[in-house]
Amino acid sequence: MHDIRLVRDDPAAFDAALARRKVAPQSASLLALDEKRRALVTQSENLLAERNAASKAVGAAKASGDDAEFERLRALVSDSKERIAALEAETGEADAALRDALMQIPNLPRDDIPDGADEADNIEDKKWGTPPALGFEPKQHFDLGEAMGCMDFEAAAKLSGARFMLLSGALARLHRALAQFMLDTHVDHNDLTEVWTPVLVRDEAMLGTGQLPKFAEDSYRTTNGWWLIPTAEVTLTNIVSGAIVEESYLPRRYTAHTQCFRSEAGSAGKDTRGMLRQHQFEKVEMVTICKPDQSDAELERMRRCAEGILESLGLAYRTVVLCTGDMGFGARKTYDIEVWMPGQDTYREISSCSTCGDFQSRRMNARWRPDAEDGGKAKPEYVHTLNGSGLAVGRCLIAVMENGQREDGSIAIPDVLQKYMGGASVIRPDGAVA
């Protein structure tokens, strides 16, 4: 959420930044709401001052025996109470209207973000590794998995419908191995703190990270009002919601492996075969809470944590900077990391790492208190938040399967995963490990 003071200070710059995201000017309507709210606050304060003065005068009038003045002042105080109550209610409505309007507006892009309309305008920043020369026509993951008898979309559809998947045997174990390897790497080598979080959250948590109110249709809600998380970004970031943390607490770096749930609204016809785009999937998420002067370095650090997983697995990838038209709602800058998928003969997204500045922390009222040089209490400031996939587990499984496939239908298991697979180095065409 934006600070209305920034809009007041330079409305033209605010609208210009939104224009880079193809968003119509908002400053005029925001300032009109703000002016109304401030006028109501001024009226309330003036009326309260008048009432307080009249309250003091009531006693003096009674003591002097001026019954007429006493009755006039008492009526004035009584009337003022009703008018103040009405103004306070109207002010509350104006506050809510301004907040609701600010909640709908995306974050402003950083100055170094490339302008563009969609993913075609993203800028490649780095490429690592070489796509494998397989020497035969590569299969996609669903053909490999179904032939092994370890990937069953028909059974999943019978249970739940389209965009669900059932893994069994060696592929279920490989999927679990990937998640465990990611967590172990982030905890043991990347200095992230592992967290086990709920997957059901309240409205406030979804509001805090920007999934609500604008993107309600993208998520699932239970009949009693909980939301199924689309990513552990929601739970990990909201750990500091409503809190004031001390400077020594920061930076705080979290990771969590969770189930994630997305309705995939608006994605009809996209990636309908296989497990690339599912309603239920698993992800190892990374979230950083930090001071404003740390967030740029933390974004680069988070990006390297995600890239390092792919490098350890020997998977070729490229990292791109998203243009203004392709960034998420809450991001100021985003790196997408795309892994090579031989079956599709292209790179596909496997991680997004974003810095949000104080956009989410204002929604959550999450702040930090700088250390005061004189030993007193410094004024709290809003923290900066970052989030990134480290990585999407299902998509990583796809990449391992397709890059490790052999002409006979077997799949080579990356060296770093073999200890999680009982020492096995290959999944045979019949689904057995060896």
Q: How many C-beta atoms lie closer than 10 Å to residue 152's C-beta?
A: 16
Q: What integer is the mean pLDDT of 309-324?
A: 98
Residue at a domain's end among 103, 133, 162: 103
Residue 98 lies in a domain: yes
On average, the pLDDT of the chain sits at 93
Which tens digits make up the pLDDT trace of 352-369? Answer: 999 999 999 999 999 999
Give 423's pLDDT tier (boundaries 50, 70, 90): very high
> What domain range is 258 assigned to?
119-427
pLDDT on residue 56: 63
pLDDT on residue 3: 96
CATH number of the domain to which 193 belongs: 3.30.930.10
Q: What integer is the mean pLDDT of 187-209?
A: 98
pLDDT on residue 247: 95
CB 411, CB 401: distance < 8 Å: yes
Residues 93 and 130 in one domain: no
Which tens digits make up the pLDDT trace of 34-86? Answer: 999 999 999 888 887 777 666 666 666 565 666 566 666 666 666 677 788 88
Q: What integer is the mean pLDDT of 222-245?
A: 98
Residue 112 lies in a domain: no
> Half-sphere exposure of residue 38, counting CA atoms within 13 Å on the CB side?
9
Residue 433 lies in a domain: no
Residues 27 and 123 in one domain: no
Residues 175 and 223 in one domain: yes
Residue at a domain's end among 43, 76, 103: 103
Residues 39 and 146 in one domain: no
Residues 276 and 139 in one domain: yes
Which tens digits make up the pLDDT trace of 87-115? Answer: 889 999 999 999 999 999 999 999 999 99
Residues 79 and 146 in one domain: no
Is the pLDDT score of 331 beyond 90? yes
Residues 408 and 364 in one domain: yes
pLDDT on residue 273: 84
Residue 108 lies in a domain: no
Residues 47-50: contacts with CB under 8 Å, at least 24 apart: 47/80, 47/83, 47/84, 47/87, 48/80, 48/84, 50/76, 50/80
pLDDT on residue 70: 60
Residue at a domain's end among 75, 103, 131: 103
pLDDT on residue 84: 82
Which tens digits make up the pLDDT trace of 140-154? Answer: 999 999 999 999 999
Residue 57 lies in a domain: yes
Residues 204 and 350 in one domain: yes
Residue 156 lies in a domain: yes
CATH number of the domain to which 24 belongs: 1.10.287.40
Is the pLDDT score of 249 beyond 80? yes
CB 325, CB 116: distance < 8 Å: yes
Q: What integer is the mean pLDDT of 393-414?
A: 98
Residues 214 and 329 in one domain: yes
Residues 47 and 141 in one domain: no
Residue 178 lies in a domain: yes
Residues 6-14: contacts with CB under 8 Å, at least 24 apart: 7/31, 7/34, 8/34, 14/108
pLDDT on residue 372: 78
Which residues belong to the active site?
262, 277, 349, 352, 395
pLDDT on residue 92: 93
Number of domains in the chain: 2
Residues 90 and 129 in one domain: no
Residue 66 lies in a domain: yes
Residues 49 and 163 in one domain: no
Q: What integer is the mean pLDDT of 126-132?
A: 97
